Amino acid sequence: MKNMTNYELNSALERKRKKRKKKRTIRMVLLTSVVLLISFIGIKNVINKRKLLVKNNISTTYAGSKENIQESKNNQENKVDNNVNENLNNNKNDKNDKNDIKNESKNNKNFTKGIVMSVDKIWSKEDKRKVAFLTFDDGPSPHTPYILDILKKYDIKATFFVLGTSAKNYPEFLKKEVELGHSIGNHTYSHKIRYSGAYTPEAFVQDVKRCDNAIKEVLGQDFKTNLVRFPGGSFNHKSYETALLNSGFKHIDWNVENGDARRLNVPKEELINNVKEEIAGHNKVVILMHDSATKETTVQALPEIIEYLKSQGFEFGIISQNN
Ligand SMILES: [Zn+2]
């Protein structure tokens, strides 16, 4: 470089500068591409995880649009189907269990496992057994498959007081409840809780019969249940009660509630504590809970409520649908 002229020196320097600039640009482009690639993979993972969460767990937000509700309904229907298939497969080699499932499938008539008590017997003082009757009102709902899964896991049967409107919306879930050996009660078609004015005792009975028709439309005309739960409870509605009994129905209220209807999204711990407090001193507990789209914490609290009842020496029973 010693012998270079100024001009040569300058152009050599210029070339070097250009070369360095080119290298810098290439480095920048490479770096930017790597950063973009990493971000893309990250976002994709998050989206996939989210999809998985929505598919496998109860979504923490409630889908507002009809399509979303339909989608969640379909997912959950598949879930129940899978579980039922799984159960059937598990029991393939066990003849007795297989028969149990077959028996349970037949309109509960051949229900052999567990305690089944008629409305009037439940409050009899002679029977000292500690029995818990889990009851779920207002369903079926998008949460039904989750409730059924939990009950299946603990091998517990429950009583579902279904609404006529819900039976129409989720017929498959109502069928699963029956297939799995649960008891079905009537919670009226329209769920009115003002027992006055135009909603006369006769109108109430008509509402119950309308629900009965909705249930039969799903489960078949042979399906029979004369078990009713008054929306809001029968308390102080004597003339309505008389009209109902005269029409051949029986009804039952509750003596314990998890408190999930007191407001929206009652925290899970509060629901568990309500049950713990209210069962004290009772041999027979009829526990009011809700199977409803807005009662997600009820599902979350259910396993611990069951565990607690078991720890307190309770067996589980269903309320007879034919009283
Ligand atoms: Zn209700």
Of 283, 204, 292, 281, the residue nearest 242 (C-alpha):
204
Give the DSSP letter of residue 319.
Answer: E
pLDDT for the residue numbered 28: 74
pLDDT of the residue at 94: 39
Q: Residue 246 above 80 pLDDT? A: yes
Going from the Cα of 157 to the center of ligand 1, the distance in angstroms, rounded, reads 20
- Looking at residue 76, its pLDDT comes to 46
The Cα–Cα gap between 122 and 138 comes to: 22
- The three-class DSSP label of residue 73 is helix
Q: How far is CA 175 from the centre of its chain?
A: 15
The alpha carbon of 261 and the centre of ligand 1 are apart by a number of angstroms equal to 9
Q: Active-site residue 137, yes or no? A: yes
Cα-to-centroid distance, 236 and ligand 1 (Å): 17
3-class secondary structure, 203: helix
pLDDT score of 66: 35
- Residue 84: the pLDDT is 37
- pLDDT at site 278: 98
Please tell me the total number of residues recorded for the chain in this structure.
323
The mean pLDDT value for 225-235 works out to 98
Neighbours of 278 (CB within 10 A): 18
Residues near 115 by beta carbon (within 8 Å), at least 6 away in sequence: 129, 131, 315, 316, 317, 318
Tell me the sheet residues that pair with 318. Answer: 116
Residue 293, pLDDT score? 97
Q: How far apart are CA 314 and CA 136, in angstroms?
A: 18
How far is the centre of ligand 1, averaged over its atoms, from the C-alpha of 21 (Å)?
Answer: 75
Instruction: Of 5-9, 27-31, 52-56, 135-139, give the range with the top mean pLDDT.
Output: 135-139
For 26, which DSSP code? H
Query: Who wins on pLDDT, 222 or 82?
Result: 222
Return the pLDDT at 221. Answer: 98
More confident residue, 217 or 37: 217
What pLDDT does residue 75 have? 46
Ligand 1 centre and the CA of 275: distance in Å? 18
pTM to 2 decimals?
0.69
Average pLDDT over residues 46-75: 39
Q: Catalytic site residue 182?
A: no
| Cβ-Cβ contacts under 8 Å for 320 (sequence gap 6 or more) | 116, 117, 118, 119, 183, 227
Distance from the alpha carbon of residue 309 to the mean position of ligand 1, in angstroms: 23
What tens digit of pLDDT does each residue of 135-166 get? 999 999 999 999 999 999 999 999 999 999 99
Show the tokens assigned to 243.
């009209």
Q: Find the 323 Cα to ligand 1 centroid distance in Å.
A: 21
Residue 114: what pLDDT? 83
CB within 8 Å of 61: residues ≥ 6 apart: none
Query: 71 φ, ψ to 5°?
Result: -65, -45
Q: How far is the CA of 231 from the centre of ligand 1 (A)?
A: 5
Catalytic entry in 207, 260, 290, 291 = 290
For the stretch 67-123, pLDDT in tens is 333 444 444 444 444 443 343 333 333 334 434 433 444 444 445 468 999 999 999
For CA atoms 8, 9, 12, 17, the dihedral sign is: negative
In percent, how much of the chain has pLDDT > 70?
69
* 17: confidence class by pLDDT, cuts 50, 70, 90: confident
pLDDT, greater one: 77 or 291: 291
User: Tokens at residue 286, please?
Assistant: 């009829």
3 vs 147: which has the higher pLDDT: 147
| Ligand 1: centre distance to CA 191 (Å) | 6
CA of 93 to the centre of ligand 1 (A): 41
Which listed residue (81, 137, 191, 207) is catalytic? Answer: 137
